[in-house]
């Protein structure tokens, strides 16, 4: 007899009457906290833009950029933020595609990171131009042969696909807010696109999400590969590497997962989402982060051992500049933050607690920023041509933009949480109603098929 394993689920966990209220509370009952956050962050951002005004008036001379180090914080932050953007759409798409059921409370938070961070990161090359009006030259006389233009294309495509991928799964929740009378009513009615939750509408939405999640994965991979080409297509020592594409993609996913976990832990605390974001979610993501940490170390090792073994003089100048020269603190800091700390904290169950995961994730975010710094500056400071070693110290304007970028990220997230639920309400409901049956059906599919009656009869006879 083929016995079916019945999954025991406590009745209370299937009761979703409170879930909706809890998840929509931040939208419907926003208090003084949002206004205070908005005002403070708005002031910080305005102050930073005011400082940036100096650059608009006086040009790039007010930054620490000069020859030979002509790329600094702006490009470091550009690469860093675009890397973080891989948290969202890519991870969300992979989890959806693999039908990982634990994805449900995570995906939207991840997708928001992508959209907010892409907007911030994409702005940095414009700041690096010195005069933003020069951006128009790209439209009139850009060269598509240049990897910089490939970047413009791939980041625009990723931004568009990520925005659509964030918006579509939000439609049922926006309609829910519309039906519950959330204000402004016209805003939710406009964005809900006439959603009434009919089976036909569900079918349309699910098909569209399925198309997008497949489309988004190659685009996301292409984005960071193309960013690596900005460096790898030059003949600069330390940049001209064949593994830069996958190395950048691995680093991007690595930093993305870490940023996602920091955001999740903070929002869990701020919005009291402990019932939805459970330790098991962090445990799964922490294991993923650990794997990415090992993978990152492997790529870093491959990158440097090849340069060291080749012993090419200009490569070795960059190599020793990082290992024992002026950039040694940043290089070894990067190794500690990206490898030692996460491996120690995440490999042992004793340390894999939420505070431990938060500490490891913050370390990885800092470490990945240091990695971008280590890629951009040392190669420019030690060019192939016989120049003396370059020198770069970021100026006040660059620090201001750096702080402003982080403040913009927090503000973007705060504004989103004011208008939309941070966890997908309909996906949680759907999970409660259908996932248990779907998962048990899938597990049964993995198990060996029952023997045909004839064989059983033959054996018994």
Partner 1 sequence: MSQDTVSERMEQRVIFGLQVLSVSMIWVFCLGICAWVIHLLLLSHQLHDVPSASVGISIVAIPVFITGASVLTYVFIGLQRGGVAPNAGGEKREDS
Q: From the list 23, 60, 166, 205, which residue makes contact with partner 1 (rule: CB under 8 A)?
A: 205
Closest distance to partner 1 from the beta carbon of 75 (Å) = 21
- Please state, in angstroms and rounded to a whole number, the distance separating the CA atoms of residues 214 and 96: 10
Residue 457, preceding peptide bond in cis (omega within 30° of 0): no
Cβ density class 111-120: b for 16+ within 10 Å, e for less = bbbbbbbbbb
By beta-carbon proximity to partner 1, the closer residue of 46 and 211 is 211
Q: From the list 196, 234, 306, 324, which residue makes contact with partner 1 (rule: CB under 8 A)?
A: 196
Q: Which residue has the tokens 């036909």?
A: 200
Token pair in block for residue 411: 């503000």
> Which three-class secondary structure state does DSSP give residue 422?
coil
Name the one range near partner 1 by CB under 8 A: 164-172, 237-245, 306-314, 437-445: 164-172
Among 213, 202, 122, which residue's Cα sits nearest to residue 161? Answer: 213
Closest distance to partner 1 from the beta carbon of 207 (Å) = 8
Token pair in block for residue 125: 């090359």
166 interacts with partner 1 by CB under 8 A: no
DSSP-derived secondary structure for 325-349:
STTHHHHHHHHIIIIIHHHHHHHST
By beta-carbon proximity to partner 1, the closer residue of 4 and 200 is 200
Closest distance to partner 1 from the beta carbon of 429 (Å) = 4
Site residue total, partner 1 (CB under 8 A): 47
Pick out residues in 129-158 that bind partner 1 (CB under 8 A): 139, 141-145, 149-150, 153-154, 156-157
CB pairs under 8 A, 24+ apart, for 353-356?
353/279, 354/265, 354/279, 354/282
200 interacts with partner 1 by CB under 8 A: yes
CA 33 to chain centre: 26
Token pair in block for residue 432: 């409660």
198 interacts with partner 1 by CB under 8 A: yes
Binding mask 394-413 for partner 1 (x = CB under 8 A): --------------------
Contact 389, 97 (CB under 8 A): no
By beta-carbon proximity to partner 1, the closer residue of 389 and 435 is 435
Contact 105, 281 (CB under 8 A): yes
Name the one range near partner 1 by CB under 8 A: 198-206, 234-242, 256-264, 270-278: 198-206
By beta-carbon proximity to partner 1, the closer residue of 201 and 440 is 201
By beta-carbon proximity to partner 1, the closer residue of 70 and 196 is 196
Residues that bind partner 1 (CB under 8 A): 139, 141-145, 149-150, 153-154, 156-157, 160-161, 164, 168, 171-172, 175-176, 186, 189-190, 193-205, 208, 211-212, 215, 219, 222, 426, 429-430, 433-434
């Amino acid at each position: 007899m083929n016995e079916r394993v019945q999954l025991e689920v406590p009745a209370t966990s299937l009761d979703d009457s409170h879930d909706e209220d809890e998840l929509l509370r931040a939208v419907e009952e926003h208090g003084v906290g949002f206004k205070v956050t908005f005002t403070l962050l708005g002031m910080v951002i305005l102050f930073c833009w005011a400082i940036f005004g100096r650059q608009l008036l006086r040009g790039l001379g007010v930054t620490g950029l000069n020859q030979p180090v002509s790329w600094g914080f702006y490009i470091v932050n550009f690469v860093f933020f675009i890397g973080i953007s891989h948290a969202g759409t890519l991870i969300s798409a992979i989890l959806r595609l693999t039908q990982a059921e634990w994805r449900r409370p995570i995906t939207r938070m991840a997708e928001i990171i992508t959209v907010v961070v892409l907007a911030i990161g994409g702005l940095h090359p414009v700041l690096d131009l010195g005069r933003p009006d020069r951006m128009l030259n790209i439209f009139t006389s850009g060269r598509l042969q240049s990897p910089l233009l490939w970047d413009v294309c791939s980041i625009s495509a990723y931004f568009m696909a990520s925005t659509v991928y964030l918006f579509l799964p939000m439609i049922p929740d926006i309609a829910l807010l519309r039906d519950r009378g959330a204000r402004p009513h016209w805003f939710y009615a406009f964005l809900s696109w006439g959603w009434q939750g009919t089976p036909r509408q569900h079918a349309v939405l699910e098909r569209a999400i399925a198309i997008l999640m497949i489309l988004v994965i190659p685009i996301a991979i292409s984005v960071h590969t193309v960013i690596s080409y900005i460096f790898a297509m030059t003949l600069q020592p330390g940049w001209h590497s064949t593994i830069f594409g996958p190395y950048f993609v691995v680093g991007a996913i690595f930093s993305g997962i870490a940023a996602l976990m920091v955001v999740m832990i903070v929002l869990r605390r701020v919005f009291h989402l402990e019932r939805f974001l459970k330790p098991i979610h962090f445990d799964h993501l922490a294991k993923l982060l650990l794997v990415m940490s090992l993978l990152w170390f492997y790529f870093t090792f491959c990158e440097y051992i090849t340069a060291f073994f080749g012993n090419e003089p200009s490569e070795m100048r960059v190599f020793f500049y990082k290992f024992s020269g002026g950039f040694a603190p940043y290089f070894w800091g990067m190794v500690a933050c990206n490898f030692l700390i996460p491996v120690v904290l995440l490999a042992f169950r004793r340390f894999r607690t939420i505070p431990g995961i938060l500490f490891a994730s913050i370390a990885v975010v800092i470490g990945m920023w240091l990695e971008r710094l280590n890629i951009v500056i040392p190669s420019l400071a030690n060019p192939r041509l016989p120049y003396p070693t370059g020198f770069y110290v970021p100026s006040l304007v660059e620090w201001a933009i750096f702080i402003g970028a982080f403040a913009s990220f927090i503000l973007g997230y705060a504004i989103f949480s004011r208008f939309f639920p941070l966890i997908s309400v309909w996906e949680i409901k759907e999970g409660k109603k259908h996932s248990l049956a779907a998962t048990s059906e899938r597990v049964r599919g993995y198990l060996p098929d029952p023997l045909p009656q004839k064989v059983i009869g033959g054996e018994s006879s």
